[in-house]
Amino acid sequence: MSHKKRLTRSRSNRILGGVLGGIAEYFGWNATATRLIFVLLSFFPFLPGILVYIVAWVIIPAEPYQDFRSGNRKDVTPDEHDRP
């Protein structure tokens, strides 16, 4: 079974919503450079950076929590970690 690569908001590499961290992880880019390029491009009048970021925050799903016991990525509720 192959693991399909998905664009998600990063949970580990985030400053605000994880959008730019998730984009950097998806394409294999440096997250700091991605953020810097985004900020620089946001100064141009044709790209409203804040609006683009908010829309991406709403559209891009969050990365699933990592279940470290099994090594599989899945959505984990807080109660599952407390069960033996």
Condensed to tens digits (0 to 9), the pLDDT of residues 14-43 reads: 899 999 999 999 999 999 999 999 999 888
For residues 63 and 24, the answer to whether their CB atoms sit within 8 Å is no
Condensed to tens digits (0 to 9), the pLDDT of residues 47-73 reads: 788 888 999 999 999 988 866 555 555
Q: How many Cβ atoms from other residues are within 10 Å of residue 63's Cβ? A: 20
Q: Is the pLDDT of residue 1 over 70?
A: no
How far apart are alpha carbons 82 and 30 in whole angstroms?
A: 35
